[in-house]
Amino acid sequence: MPQGKWFRIGYGIIVVLLIAYLASKVNFIFYPISKVIAALFVPLLISGMFYYLFRPFVRVLSNKLPKAIAILFVYLGALGVCYLFFWMIWPPIRTQSINLVDNFPQIVDSVRSWLESVQQHEWLKEIGQKDALSSENLTNKLTGSLDEVLNSVIGSVRNIFNLMMNFFFLLGLVPFMIYYLLSEGDKFPGHVLRILPDRYHREVSGALKEIDASIGSFILSKVLTSMLIGVLTFIGYLLIHMPYPLLLGLIAAVTNFIPYIGPLIAFIPTAVVALTVSPMTVLLVGVVLVVSNQIEANLIGPRIIGKQMNVHPFTVMLLVIGASAIIGPFGMIIVVPVYAIIKIIAIRTYDYLKHNRIPPKDPLAEVNKRLE
């Protein structure tokens, strides 16, 4: 039987595919397990995010206070921030959201009227002589696109409603999970190392520390920079007299969690609203988003982020596009840290195998040893 490197890789791929095929034949065993994992995934994800957000504050307070008291103070601070949000920020966001929904038909009519006026230019009339690019066909297509956007918004609202139905379940479970992570999270590497042979401790410990630093850096940087983008775009929208400035600034902050493509996603609904004011406002909206992201990326962001994930921007864009096609918007957010974890594990594993490879035995040396 061949023993070459590529043959062994081929054997490994065949074994993995065979295991996957056999597992698909007994899906009645794995289906309940997948349901349990799916039910726990969102609480674990939310708990992990808040764990990395709260951990720096807990560590600072733990230098002078017991850890349990430090966690309690952090919880009280988080409740204070939530109170301020629902007292000062949520009422205008709610009002602007209701006004936007009420005015959506007028927004669609305004955009349609602007498109029809644009098509009256002479050079567009010449293009419009072709049936495929006629004014009527363009108007119908664009109207259909706006209808699809509306249906997408309605679908997103339904998804948010379904998420809110699970809010009380998460409200009761997540705080306890966060408390456990904050109080016992530092012991997790030790638990992992105890179940592994001693020869793997050094590499596994280094990989866990690197993963922890990368994920913590990603979450902290994204939360802080998204808040910064939200504030900058809100101020910019106020300066150019955009309607619904707080709501649109919140959209810019949320979409900033999606690397590179987030600002473009934020621009689309904002541009539609800006068309109800004037075409020049659309250009000003683009200027506000570009300036805000440049300030965040070049002046303030590097001071906040510190250690960044070692992932090339082109790779990030490919990952985001692929994840959006397979998983959807949620995948666009989590794909970068997941890729970073896989990359760290792969590099660490390769380095370990490379430096701990057993040299092949020399047959002649074995024969000479026996003759002696």
DSSP for 132-160, written as a single string: GG-HHHHHHHHHHHHHHHHHHHHHHHHHH
pLDDT of residue 74: 92
Q: Which residue has the tokens 């990952």?
A: 319
Q: Which residue has the tokens 């068309």?
A: 275
**pLDDT in 10s for each residue of the chain, 372 residues:** 556 667 677 777 888 888 877 777 777 777 777 777 777 777 888 888 899 999 989 989 988 889 889 999 999 999 999 899 889 888 888 888 888 878 877 777 777 777 666 666 555 555 544 444 444 555 555 555 555 655 555 555 555 555 555 555 666 778 888 888 888 888 888 888 888 888 888 888 888 888 888 888 888 888 888 888 999 999 999 999 888 899 899 999 988 888 778 888 888 888 888 888 888 888 999 999 988 888 877 766 555 554 455 667 777 778 888 887 787 777 777 888 888 888 888 888 888 777 776 555 555 555 455 555
- 268 found inside a domain: yes
pLDDT of residue 292: 87
Report how far Cα 366 is from the mean position of its chain's Cα atoms: 57
- 184 found inside a domain: no
Residue whose C-alpha is closest to residue 58's, from 49, 67, 46, 50:
67
- 204 found inside a domain: yes
Counts of helices then strands in the chain (DSSP H, E)? 17, 0
Contact 280, 291 (CB under 8 A): no
pLDDT of residue 338: 86
Integer Cα distance of 248 and 240 in angstroms: 13
- 237 found inside a domain: yes
pLDDT of residue 76: 94
- 222 found inside a domain: yes
pLDDT of residue 96: 87
- 278 found inside a domain: yes
Q: What is the number of domains present in the chain?
A: 1
Integer Cα distance of 141 and 116 in angstroms: 12
- 363 found inside a domain: no
pLDDT of residue 133: 45
Integer Cα distance of 172 and 170 in angstroms: 5
Residue whose C-alpha is closest to residue 206's, from 344, 309, 308:
344
pLDDT of residue 360: 52
296-303 CB contacts, 8 Å cutoff, 24+ apart: 296/225, 296/228, 296/229, 296/232, 300/225, 300/228, 301/221, 301/225, 301/228
| Residues in contact with 187: Cβ distance below 8 Å, sequence separation at least 6, in sequence order | none
Look up the domain containing 236 and give its range: 196-353
- 290 found inside a domain: yes
pLDDT of residue 197: 83
142-147 CB contacts, 8 Å cutoff, 24+ apart: 142/111, 142/112, 142/115, 143/108, 143/112, 146/108, 146/111, 146/112, 146/272
pLDDT of residue 138: 52
